[in-house]
């Protein structure tokens, strides 16, 4: 009894692409078709007979089409249980025909929100009848088949062609699951639209697109990306993006987005191991690579300018996983494509999410994204000596760099180039000492450099260590009860210190 034959269908859709094939198949299989409005007109113009829903119900469409299918005759025909004698008796009493198949889609609410701010137009795209038909038909999947999205048309066509109008219980259950996916996503979009102004403390998210990744963070873990990568990236070359590629490329793009002048970044495990700003992108790459020529191996590279031939030529000798940029010159692409697995990503649009979410314990953590970046106008000079103009420029650079390092983080900068960085350390002293060691390892002279810390100095020890390394300008947020101890130490050493007032912890 799980096999059901489609004898009647209700079709009421907004999008009619490829609907004609379905209508022809149903007609050829002798299915009675009920329809409304523009869909009814579309079917009849094909020369195929269809019954108007208002003829079925004896009640016309009203309120400019707001009410079309909301009627007991329609929903009775859908919800009636075929094996329930009481349901069947009531259908007979009220002369209600059974409806075996419902093909319906929803008004494009999500698309309308993206295209206009005119609330009256948005509200009119909240579907009432369609969502009710979807839920009713999906609920009665034991007997009825629901097609709730135009993306399911081909599946229905295959079903009609292969099974000649018959469906199994499993067929109907699969379509029902997709229907509830459609309805829940639709309702989530509506709620989130209204909640922009209300800010009810509820977490609701729904993303229909997904991409299976090769694996997760490690090969023994599965991984999936939920979203539409094609909206953001155009993959020009290379293997499939991995979980780690995506994590690193987001970190890289967020970092270079901080800069307006030509800037190149090299990322390893979300931290910058190379970062520099120069007059040209090729010069920026050379300076960024010089920061740490060892860690750059296998890294993710990105720039805020198009990659030209000169830059590609320099990069080509390095093994790296991925390069992302707003564009690539043709001759640069020819060079970079010499390695078939090298992933080349053209960035189509900048994404700045207002909120960040993270699953944690038995719930979800949410916070505003950290888009604050302090500049010299935010600096409060707290020492006897003020930073020079060059030091101010480097301090601004260092703050942009350190806010993207894992805490505890320190960035040593000179002439808009990272000389050394310490990140993910359990103490700020360790972070600074590691940054100095990095700078020395790659032959940099830290004399005259500056440092930025993403959080305050609890003790003056970092000031003393920086002074020993010849660092004469410091930026930190301040906020420690012992701020004055660090300020006094800087004054004793003749160092300049500015407080920014903003902490940038990153975990």
Is 94 an active-site residue? no
Nearest to 96 by CA among 58, 128, 146: 58
Taking the mean position of all CA atoms in its chain, how far away is CA 478? 34
CA separation (Å) from 309 to 149, 233, 301, 336, 344? 46, 21, 16, 9, 14
Looking at 16, 71, 125, 139, which residue is catalytic? Answer: 139
- Cα 201 → chain centroid: 22
Pairwise CA distance, residues 476 & 467, whole Å:
15
Kindly provide the b/e burial profile for residues 198-209, where b requires at least 16 CB atoms within 10 angstroms of the residue's own CB: eeeeeeeeeeee
Ramachandran bin of 269, using left for φ above 0, alpha for ψ from -120 to 50, beta for the remaining angles: left
Residues 187, 18, 110: CA angle, nearest 5 degrees: 20
Catalytic residue among 71, 185, 269, 339: 269
End-to-end CA distance of the chain: 57
| Helix spans in 98-143 (H) | 109-115, 119-124, 129-139
67 strand-pairing partners: 62
Q: Is 309 a catalytic residue?
A: no
Question: Quick check: helix, strand or coil at residue 454?
Answer: coil
Please state, in angstroms and rounded to a whole number, the distance separating the CA atoms of residues 383 and 381. Answer: 6
State how far the Cα of 320 lies from the Cα of 343, in Å rounded to an integer. Answer: 9
Q: What is the DSSP letter of 414?
A: S
- Residues identified as active-site: 139, 269
């Amino acid at each position: 009894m799980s096999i059901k034959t489609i004898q009647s269908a209700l079709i009421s859709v907004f999008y009619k692409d490829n609907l004609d094939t379905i209508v022809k198949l149903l007609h050829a299989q002798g299915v009675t078709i009920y329809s409304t409005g523009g869909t009814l007109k579309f079917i009849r113009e094909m020369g195929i007979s269809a019954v108007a829903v208002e003829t079925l119900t004896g009640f016309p469409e009203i309120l400019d089409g707001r009410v079309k299918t909301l009627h007991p005759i329609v929903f009775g025909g859908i919800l009636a249980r075929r094996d329930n004698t009481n349901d069947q008796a009531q259908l007979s009493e009220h002369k209600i025909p059974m409806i075996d198949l419902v093909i319906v889609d929803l008004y494009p609410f999500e698309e309308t929100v993206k295209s206009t701010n005119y609330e009256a137009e948005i509200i009119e795209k909240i579907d009432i009848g369609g969502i009710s038909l979807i839920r009713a038909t999906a609920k009665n999947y034991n007997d009825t088949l629901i097609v709730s999205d135009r993306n399911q048309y081909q599946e229905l066509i295959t079903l009609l062609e292969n099974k000649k109008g018959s469906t199994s219980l499993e067929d109907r259950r699969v379509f029902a699951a997709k229907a509830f996916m459609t309805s829940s996503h639709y309702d989530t979009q509506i709620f989130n639209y209204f909640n922009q102004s209300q800010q009810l403390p509820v977490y609701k998210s729904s993303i229909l697109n997904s991409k299976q990744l090769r694996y997760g963070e490690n090969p023994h873990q599965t991984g999936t990306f939920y979203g539409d990568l094609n909206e953001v990236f155009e993959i020009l070359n290379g293997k499939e993006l991995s979980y780690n590629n995506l994590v690193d490329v987001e970190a890289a793009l967020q970092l270079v987005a901080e800069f307006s002048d030509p800037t190149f970044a090299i990322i390893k495990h979300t931290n910058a191991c190379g970062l520099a700003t120069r007059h040209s992108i090729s010069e920026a790459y050379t300076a960024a690579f010089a920061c740490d020529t060892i860690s750059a191996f296998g890294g993710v590279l990105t720039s805020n300018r198009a990659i030209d031939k000169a830059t590609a030529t320099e990069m080509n000798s390095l093994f790296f996983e991925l390069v992302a940029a707003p564009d690539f010159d043709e001759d640069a692409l020819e060079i970079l494509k010499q390695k078939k697995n090298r992933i080349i990503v053209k960035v189509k649009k900048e994404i700045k999410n207002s909120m960040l979410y993270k699953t944690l314990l038995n719930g979800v953590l949410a916070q505003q994204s950290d888009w604050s970046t302090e500049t010299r106008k935010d600096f409060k000079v707290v020492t006897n000596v003020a930073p020079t103009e060059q030091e101010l420029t480097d301090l601004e650079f260092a703050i942009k760099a350190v806010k993207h390092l894992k805490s505890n983080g320190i960035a040593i900068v000179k002439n808009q180039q990272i000389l050394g960085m310490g990140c993910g350390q359990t103490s700020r002293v360790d972070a600074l000492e590691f940054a100095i060691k990095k700078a020395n390892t790659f032959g940099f002279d830290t004399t005259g450099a500056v440092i930025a810390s993403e959080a305050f100095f609890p003790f003056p020890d970092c000031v003393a260590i920086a002074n020993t390394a010849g660092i004469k300008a410091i930026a930190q947020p301040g906020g420690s009860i012992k701020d004055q101890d660090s300020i006094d130490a800087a004054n004793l050493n003749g160092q300049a210190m500015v407080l920014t007032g903003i902490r940038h912890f990153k975990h």
